[in-house]
Structure 1
Amino acid sequence: MHRQSLVIVTPALASANNGNWQTAHRWAGLLGPAYRVRLAQAWTDGDEAMLIALHARRSAASIAAWRVAHPARPIVLVLTGTDLYRDIHTDAAARRSLDLADALVVLNELGARALPEACRAKARVVLQSCPARAPLARTPRHLRALMVGHLRDEKDPRTYWRAVRRLSGRADLRFDHVGEALDPALGAEAAALAAALPGFRWLGSLPHEACRRRIQAAHVLVQPSVMEGGAHTVIEAVRSGTPVLASRIDGNLGLLGEGYEGVFEPGDDAALAALLARARDEADMLPRLAAQLALRADLFAPQAEREALHRLVGALLARPSDR
């Protein structure tokens, strides 16, 4: 049987080693058995049956070009954190992408409420996934906290660093940060902090497999972002049995659950420091957080993402066009 062809447009390809690339690459694999899938940074021409575009603003030209060339063929727009919580509220091209798309994919359970009301009927939740892994051995001699996120304002690394400074007198707490210095000023701050505090390590950019193993080995993952569509590092922590301390934003709560205990207000380094201290000092805290997350782990299984994705793509390709 002839397989229909799809194109996935992502502003970031493999060299970027970021969430957009991870999503696009994984979706190509999940869809590959049923469809012919091409990955591209932009779309200018082609005879594919469907466009799947990541990022409303950065893929706006591709979305507009597709709609001109293929007025009746479907567009799936996957909304990132900067889309949902910034660009669609301020950028005309991003808003135009919402209008042109046939389906709007949000990557956390609360994402649709950030959309303009007129667009919410087009929203579909597709939670990202990863294989489950067992935690690696964790020393009882100290607690190791880990942040994984490139150094840029949206990830708010400074809140993590301020919390590290607050706790710098405790030899039983260790702190790691994995992420490339996309902002040179933040890179300089990370290097200075690592030089000043023996308990803090900035590890720079690491391959995905190395990051995954560090998440497995950490006592706790810290996710302080002010803007997230659905952080894959949080999903990897949940699927590795690693508790998470996260900022109270929809992009995090839409993965962890609105009743999750291990959250702090965005930017509140004192609250984060208090949670980190409790994670070390209260014997039942990390097991309690891990038990809460274990109840949600199956939501992020590869089979669940595969089924949601195939339902969405299959329904759009089978739908008569009303354009």
Structure 2
Amino acid sequence: METTNGSSRTDFILLGFSDRPHLERIISVAVFIFYLVTLVGNTAIILVSYLDSQLHTPMYFFLSNLSAVDLCYTTSIIPQMLVNLWGPTKSITYAGCALQFFFALDLGATECLLLAVMAYDRYAAVCQPLHYMVIMHPGLCHRMVLISWLGGLGSALILCSLTLKLPRCGHRLVDNFFCEMPALVKMACVYSRVIEIAVLTLGVIFLLVPLSLILISYGVITQAVMRIKSASRWRKVLNTCGSHLTVVTLFYGTAIYMYMRPQKTKSQDEGKFLTLFYTIVTPSLNPLIYTLRNKEVKSALKRLLKLKTVQQS
């Protein structure tokens, strides 16, 4: 049997949910709806944050970057997924699979770091309100965002180069609906201790460390909130921090369960549906969570819509 990477020039077969053909149409409709919500919601947040001068603050600068990550992440996965769900073939080219794999790692790690940066921003806003704009000056905000994007890029380059070099012995079947790391590692015909150590190390760096910083930030924020006597400011703090905490819980909960839990302890079907949740559902919920709980965003949307109506009349 061939043990070289000879299958690198052939297409892969994305099995997805082909073992449950009765669910494929239902899943495809749901995925299409969630994708539309993701496109409209995240694009709206980016445009509103850019066009409305009252939202030119660090919080909405970070939120715009988070929306951009979600847009790129879902777009790298969903179009190919819908083609496979609607068509008779389930194939993807090697280049397409490698790109999906790279962008999933890159953007996922970037989102981890961005959520930690946003937690620090909320800490500065709540605990250091008088010095907030001094602490979160534009230079620092841009550097933190740049580090987040470059950190995600670095982790993706490391894991992609290690994973794609694994010999697959001609295996072409990817037991998932897109080229994700656990499915690609499972295709290998050799055990790689290096991959296991790399995944664990980067999982600690990009999942556990940012999550620990987020929890520390919110621990300090909680102490500060308890001392707030103004009911209106207390509600405002809870609204902005509550939105971020909800997104953190959805994203980190599923990501840690998927990547930090031993692969042998969960079924493949369980992994597919969890992957479906954090790749399709969560990016569509993020803009809804931030707009429904945030009066500033809703007010900005109303101002822009009113301005557009006046200009047309």
TM-score by length of 1: 0.28
Q: Which is greater in Rg? A: 2
**Which is bigger in relative contact order (C-alpha 8 A, separation at least 6)?**
2
Task: Answer 1 or 2: which has greater helix percent.
Answer: 2
